Amino acid sequence: MGISFVKGHGTENDFVLLPDPDGQLDLTPERVRALSDRHGGIGADGVLRVVRASQVPDAPEGVTPDVWFMDYRNADGSISEMCGNGVRVFARYLVDSGLAEPGELVVGTRAGDRPVVVHGDGSVTVQMGPATLRGRSSATVGGTAYSGVAVDVGNPHLACIVLGGPDELAGLDLAVPPGHDPVLFPHGVNVEFLAVLDSGDSGDTLRMRVHERGVGETRSCGTGTVAAVTAALHARGDDAGAMTVEVLGGRVSVTVGDGQSTLTGPAVFVAHGEVAPALWG
């Protein structure tokens, strides 16, 4: 019997999902890299193993043992605590495959339990937990330093406002990882660059690009959008509010405040199949 997979994305941040109801899959970093490879593999920004929390030895204390756990891996094989777009895709997979009832459910992650609502139109709202400011820092792109704030969304972020607006944002070369302070971010960091667009009828809108730890530039980062909104609110003296975030792969809605943040956006499936034995081997 082969190893089945599902391919999906949230605003084009794409994932290979590996259902592992019995906790049998040995998901090594080499296998994650092979699956994620866009030329020799299926291609993805990350891999999501679908497993019960009780079968994950490094699941943090406090995660409910019988919930489905999103065992998230970056494309380079590294582990991250949290993935906002991934949780949306993961939750919709649980509902579509009959592993969870539609509506409200809880997804376990290395950042803790995340309550989720899967809406009738297939979009998903995730309670992302607190977005915590950790001080100022800067990121360097092409010799230019961009000032930003460190934000902990379960995983580490540095969100930098680009003062030159959308044009300067579009011109940033994110093919090379932005320079960052290794003392403040000893385990690496996801770096967001954001331009504040004019307020529209539905509130403030940010445009964001992101360089993800363990991946490179991606077309979206859910935890990154929460960090970006937190940084934009902080820059104008607020600690709560709601914004739309435009990313390369679409749009999401974010709220921040009262020690909680939420992320709402699409979850889409594009393929399913079996991993070829040679790729897994």
212: contact with ligand LBFN2T5F by CB under 6 A: yes
Which of 83, 226, 227, 245 is catalytic? The answer is 83
Q: Among all chains, which residue has been given the structure tokens 């679409």?
A: 250
**Helices (H) and strands (E) in the chain — how many of each?**
5, 17
Is 222 annotated among the ligand-binding residues?
Answer: yes
Q: For ligand LBFN2T5F, give the closer residue by CB, 191 or 275.
A: 191
Q: What's the number of CA atoms in the CB half-sphere (13 Å) around residue 46?
A: 33
Q: For ligand LBFN2T5F, give the closer residue by CB, 19 or 77.
A: 77
Active site residue 160: no
- Number of amino acids touching ligand LBFN2T5F (CB under 6 A): 18
Residue 53 structure tokens: 């929390």
Q: How far apart are CA 102 and CA 17, in angstroms?
A: 19
Instruction: Count CB neighbours of 277 within 10 A.
Output: 9
Segment lying near ligand LBFN2T5F (by CB under 6 A), choices 16-24, 57-65, 207-215, 231-239 = 207-215
43: contact with ligand LBFN2T5F by CB under 6 A: no
Q: Out of 23, 115, 179, 214, name the contact with ligand LBFN2T5F by CB under 6 A.
A: 214
155: contact with ligand LBFN2T5F by CB under 6 A: yes
Residue 274 structure tokens: 């079996």
Q: How far apart are CA 32 and CA 256, in angstroms?
A: 33
83: contact with ligand LBFN2T5F by CB under 6 A: yes
Output b/e per residue, 132-161; b: 16+ Cβ within 10 A: eeeeebbbebeeeebebbbbbbbbbbbbbb
Residue 112 structure tokens: 């803790």
215: contact with ligand LBFN2T5F by CB under 6 A: yes
Positions touching ligand LBFN2T5F (CB under 6 A) are 13, 74, 80, 83-86, 155, 190, 212-215, 218, 221-224
Residues acting as catalytic residues: 83, 221
Binding-site residue set for substrate: 13, 74, 84-85, 155, 190, 212-213, 222-223
